[in-house]
Amino acid sequence: MSSSNPTSLGEEPAFQPLNAEEVRSCLLKAVDFISNYYSSVESMAVLPDVKPGYLRDQLMASPPMLPSPFDDTVNELKNSVVPGITHWASPNFFAFFPSTNSAAAIAGDLIASALNTVGFSWQAAPAATEMEVLALDWLAQLLCFPTSFMSSGSGSGGGVILGTTSEAILVTLVAARDAALCRTGSGGGVTGVPRLAVYASNQTHPTFFKACRIAGFDPGNIRFIPTGPETDYGLDPTKLREVMQADVHAGFVPTYVCATVGSTSSNAVDPVGAIADVAIMFSAWVHVDAAYAGSACICPEFRHHLDGVERVDSISISPHKWLLTCLDCSCLYVRHTHRLRDSLETKPEYLKNEASESGSVTDFKDMQVGIGRRFRGLKLWMVMRTYGTAKLQEHIRRHVAMAKMFEDFVRADDRFELVVPRNFALVCFRMKASGVIKDEHADKTNRLLMENLNKSGRMYLTHTIVGGRFVLRFVVGSSLQEERHVRSAWELIKNITREMLHQQQHNIAIV
């Protein structure tokens, strides 16, 4: 301590990890890294050739004691991390669903990281709260939602941005569960839970099952309603009604129906309006999971897939899948926000403030699992603000057109078949059983085709099972994807198929 300043903590130059110049210097290096990555990702093998544990062998086993220049960190990223990445940004990525992205989204996320606000309440982050409300209302307008889902509407509706669809399903399940318990006279207790039943098609993402388990529903009361090719694997409302009616007769309480628009497996679409009509008869909550395909509904030609949405209780859409907004960004809309708050509100003394007490503001902590949260609306707003509706629609249409082109390639080739009609930018196809491929070997042959394609490093696609058959999923959607990449992929598929068929003709045993 210096004698002139008796309580000083010392004059050493302090560690300044957020110094403006230091931040600028590190970020410029990160920008170079990113720019180089996007310029070269096309030439990298989409699936990396690494074995489990590879990274631990290359990096230090323990944190260093002393600081290092930021360049050392970036060099380790280049040398050890990049070679182990599955390149979702590659234009040769056709797997799963895409994680589309854009300059505006990345910049928005960057600014959110830097501002680093914690927006549990309006007062803790007014701009972040209001930006999220506005971004959600904008997206609702793009989707032609009824005003009942908008904060600016006259009702009690609104939205919240969550990390994943799973969380959207979970919080609405909890609200529906508590409402059902209340309706059936269980008071504040949970003794009525074993009687609650929930519904979805057998094509529904398993995160629904997981969310039901987390929320304490009896796994035995989760009804997965069979679907088939007669509805292109969409949920049949008549069957739904029968199952719900049977449950009521057996003493169960129908509580929640999860409809999907664009299932992960094959992009099946459940008829939203008809399902809502059935659910309403039983006072069950209806949620629509439109994680992937919801983004397409900003184009008028796809909007009909959401017809009837004005009668559902909630709907979730993930712009981090197909609306150019990097992870995490999953938008949940509910018709009555107080139904979430009734189940999720907390009011600790240390978060109390005048604005919240006034009831005139949104406190997002009461519409999600956690309390704290990033400035989540910023990147989504920046995407819509920068590109505008026209470019976003163009982006969707471009992907759909490329998928249609691929579908046409498949349809025109005798060796392949389309398994379900294409709704959006996912093409489900497979090599036909015919000639050298016997029916009982077709699944194995298609799996081998997928493995050969993926091992080539020149593309990555994944599979599913539809109607008991092994099917290849070809999803257009990487943000760097152009028509030439889809054409190259198709050439590669044809070439590898040709080789496989040739080998098979000469040595049937390899399959």
Could you say which residues in the range 212-231 bind a copy of itself, by CB under 8 A? 213-220
- Residue ranges in 345-404 that form contacts with a copy of itself under rule CB under 8 A: 346-350, 355, 358, 360-361, 369-374, 378, 382, 384-391, 394-395, 398, 401-402
Among positions 416-435, residues that touch a copy of itself (CB under 8 A) are none
Kind and range of the H or E run holding 473? strand 469-475
Both tokens of 334, joined, read 């509910």
Residue among 37 and 501 whose Cβ is closer to a copy of itself: 37
Question: With respect to a copy of itself, which residue has the nearer C-beta, 138 or 282?
Answer: 138
How far apart CA 239 and CA 245 sit, in angstroms, is: 10
The span from the first CA to the last CA of the chain, in angstroms, equals 79
Q: Are 29 and 72 in contact (CB under 8 A)?
A: no
Tell me: does residue 89 bind a copy of itself (CB under 8 A): yes
What does the alpha-carbon distance between residue 253 and residue 195 come to, in Å, rounded to a whole number?
A: 6
Active site amino acids: 350
Residues 248-287 that bind a copy of itself (CB under 8 A): 264-265
Beta-strand runs (E) in 366-453: 416-418, 426-431
Site for a copy of itself in 150-169 (CB under 8 A): 152, 163-167
How far is the CA of 424 from the CAs of 96, 397, 400, in angstroms? 14, 9, 6
Residue 305 binding a copy of itself, by CB under 8 A? no
Helices 377-411 & 126-142 angle (0-180, nearest 10): 30
Is residue 247 at the binding interface for a copy of itself, with CB under 8 A as the rule? no
Instruction: Please state, as a whole number, how many other Cβ atoms lie within 10 Å of the Cβ of residue 239.
Output: 16
Selected binder of a copy of itself within 44, 130, 310, 501 (CB under 8 A): 130
Q: Assess 190 for contact with a copy of itself (CB under 8 A).
A: yes
The answer to whether 493 contacts a copy of itself (rule: CB under 8 A) is no
Q: Compute CA distances 468 → 229, 443, 473, whole Å.
A: 11, 9, 15
Tokens of 153: 């509407």
Q: Which is nearer to a copy of itself, 250 or 506 (CB)?
A: 250
Residues 17, 185, 251, 300: which binds a copy of itself (CB under 8 A)?
17
Extract the tokens encoding 327: 């992870």
Provide the minimum distance between the beta carbon of 123 and a copy of itself in the complex, in angstroms, as a whole number: 7
Contact flag: residue 290 with a copy of itself (CB under 8 A): no
x/- contact string, 452-471, with a copy of itself (CB under 8 A)? ----------xxxx------
405 is a site residue for a copy of itself (CB under 8 A):
yes
CA pseudo-torsion sign 89, 92, 97, 100: positive
Min dist. Cβ of residue 215 to a copy of itself (A): 6
